[in-house]
Amino acid sequence: MKPFPPAALAFGGDYNPEQWPESTWTEDVELMREAGVTLVTLGVFSWAWLEPTEGEYDFDWLDRVIDLLHGAGISVDLATATASPPPWFSRAYPDSLPETADGRTMWPGSRQAYCPSSPDYRRAATALVERIAERYGEHPAVVLWHVNNEYGCHVSHCWCDRSAVEFRRWLRDRYGSLDRLNEAWGTAFWSQRYGDWEEVLPPRLTPSFGNPTQALDFDRFSSDELLACYRAERDVLLRHSPDVPVTTNLMVAKFKGLDYWSWAPELDVVSNDHYLRGEDPLGHVDLALAADLTRSLAGGDPWLLMESSTSAVNWQPRNIAKVPGQLRRNTFAHVARGSEGAMFFQWRASAAGAEKFHAGMVPHAGTDSRVWREVCLLGADLGRVAEIRGSVVQPDVALLWDWQSWWAVEQQAHPTGDLDYIEQVRSYHAALWRLGLTTDLARPSADLSRYRFVAVPSLYLVSDASAENLGSFVAGGGTLLVGPFSGIVDESLRIRLGGYPGAFRDLLGVRVEEFSPLPASGSVRLSDGKVGRIWSEHAHLTGAESLASYSSGPLAGSPALTRRSVGDGQAWYLGTCLDDASLQALLREVTTVAGCRPPVPAHDGVEVVRRDGAEASYLFVLNHTADPAVVPARGRELLGEADVDGALTVPPGGVAVVREHR
């Protein structure tokens, strides 16, 4: 990872000076210095200002802004401005506009109004990036390049004729021949066999269920097409400024459209945008999942929170303002889990446009406001803990996460529509959070040897190699817990015949002959008192021992929770989706067996995470409750600048960061 920014944790946000008269710019920079801003993202949506007509560029205004920021000691994350083509482009190149699966054109008037496969878009975008890189590639203020913005947020797939051409090219590269494509797609079903490449289309609107493997391949293709757009811009930037790191802001843990495992290696700095669901009382737990997944995408290295909100957003059904202290607590939760600072959308709340009610660091009320005062306090706090830069989080617990399996498991015509992939992962992560255990997310093919415990909440699709990887993890002494409807199909969505759970049948010592999904709001009791939801199945032991069975109904006596010793490890199987209390109890039992321990004993509603550095370790304590919390600690509390000798008291809603004695 290339280092950034030069000397401090990142603190700042998207700055859009083109929305304001130039007389405001000097005031903005003065306020940034007051707040302790170290980095701003500049130019994200400025294509129409930088290239007002095709081939005619205007950089004078951007020169003045960058020089003004640099003079104040504020670094720049300079965007390529390609996320939103200007109206002249869409008018000149109407074939670049994206189309939906039912053939409707998506018109300009918002943002991302382009087809990722459009050659006109790629040509115009890289031409603009070339000019930007030539002009600013060696500017000392530019410490980070920001390619595009939230790729795929609004247009992750396009079904137009140009996309069809590129989809066929992608399929030729993947399969080599129509015979291999027909075999992979199972086109013997419903007379779908293709005799010519020109017959192959994107999975457009059809009279009934479409071909599932065609849909999965189109998901793969669509992710790859947007990644190709990113690479094209990145390569231009690297030619002009090879020492400046390049990123694009991901939307981790909530965005289904892109396979970020394939994106992360292409980024010098993994960055993420995260916004709370305002009405979710456990939004801080969801935040932890997003931060843990972002850190995992970064390979455990530090990463950057590129966007968050100082208070309310504008796009939820009810946009709830953050309560006093929540901004500080949310920010330090990201930093605790590996972020090298905190950035926000945006610096100054807009006076016009679709996001005018989205909170800013400078709100509509100006500096005489609670939000502004909290922003200034946060900037000072991040300055006090700057020494944590470069320290890392090192969990011994992991959950498997796979975008392609997510795409596949939520297709139509499955045993139930209630098995929601992200909700399954979220429930496991939340239970581990309540147990005080920090968790990595890992792809199925990853090296798992550093972990004591790995859980597989849902892995419908799995390759032979990944299944063998999990077997090796267990044989080497690891503890594995596999959830229901996992290991069912291969990469082409072909059922692994012979009984479920398919790829994991031998490892787990269980053979399932039939699924038995539960009715809406249905539940099933287990013999050990736990409660299952959504799913049950008729299983037989083929080497495992039964730890709990279904206690009533047609599956009474059938194993629901099993365990098998393999080599030096254990493989557990859960054939249902437990309710929250039951899942937490199970995970407490399994992680204890595996030897996993939280940094300090778990305390309801108190989040504790440790970052380890070369010279010191840092204990982050976030109190999400309305009562004081006391946790064991020894060292120097950096925010309050006080020594701690044995017990640390954190006030309700408070935050502490302890440099621990070694």
Residue 5 confidence (pLDDT) above 60: no
Share of the chain above pLDDT 90, in %: 97
Mean pLDDT along residues 412-437: 97
Average pLDDT, the chain: 97
Contact between 146 and 41 (Cβ < 8 Å): yes
pLDDT per position as a tens digit, 312-338: 999 999 999 999 999 999 999 999 999
Contact between 509 and 542 (Cβ < 8 Å): yes
In a shared domain, residues 283 and 138:
yes
pLDDT per position as a tens digit, 116-161: 999 999 999 999 999 999 999 999 999 999 999 999 999 999 999 9
In a shared domain, residues 39 and 135:
yes
Burial of 470 (0-12, 13-18, 19+ CB in 10 A): buried
Residue 519 confidence (pLDDT) above 80: yes
CA–CA distance, 565 with 561 (Å, rounded to integer): 14
Strands 510-515 vs 537-541: parallel, antiparallel or unpaired: antiparallel
Mean pLDDT along residues 411-437: 97
In a shared domain, residues 258 and 382:
yes
Which contiguous run of DSSP H or E holds residue 549? strand 545-549
The reported pLDDT for the residue numbered 652 is 98
The reported pLDDT for the residue numbered 25 is 98
Contact between 60 and 98 (Cβ < 8 Å): no
647: domain CATH number is: 2.60.40.1180
Which contiguous run of DSSP H or E holds residue 123? helix 119-136
pLDDT per position as a tens digit, 621-661: 999 999 999 999 999 999 999 999 999 999 999 999 999 97
Mean pLDDT along residues 86-100: 97
Mean pLDDT along residues 477-505: 98
In a shared domain, residues 587 and 611:
no
Could you give the C-alpha distances from 460 to 357, 411, 476, in angstroms and in order? 41, 11, 24
Residue 4 confidence (pLDDT) above 90: no
> Closest by alpha carbon to 151, among 56, 55, 224?
224
In a shared domain, residues 208 and 223:
no
The reported pLDDT for the residue numbered 661 is 78
The answer to the question of residue 442 being in a domain is: yes
Our count of domains for the chain comes to 4
In a shared domain, residues 41 and 76:
yes
The reported pLDDT for the residue numbered 441 is 98
pLDDT per position as a tens digit, 190-216: 999 999 999 999 999 999 999 999 999
CA–CA distance, 425 with 252 (Å, rounded to integer): 13
The answer to the question of residue 4 being in a domain is: no
In a shared domain, residues 508 and 370:
no
Active site residue ranges: 150, 307
Grade residue 530 by pLDDT with cuts at 50, 70 and 90: very high
Lowest mean pLDDT among 109-113, 468-472, 536-540, 576-580: 109-113
pLDDT per position as a tens digit, 218-241: 999 999 999 999 999 999 999 999
CA dihedral 74, 78, 83, 87 (to 10 degrees): 90
- More confident: 254 or 459: 459
In a shared domain, residues 539 and 467:
yes
The reported pLDDT for the residue numbered 253 is 85
505: domain CATH number is: 3.40.50.880
Mean pLDDT along residues 31-37: 98
φ and ψ at 141, to 5 degrees? Answer: -75, -25
In a shared domain, residues 584 and 617:
no
Domain that holds residue 193: 161-212
In a shared domain, residues 534 and 512:
yes
Share of the chain above pLDDT 70, in %: 99
Grade residue 254 by pLDDT with cuts at 50, 70 and 90: confident
The answer to the question of residue 194 being in a domain is: yes
Grade residue 553 by pLDDT with cuts at 50, 70 and 90: confident
In a shared domain, residues 251 and 347:
yes
In a shared domain, residues 81 and 207:
no
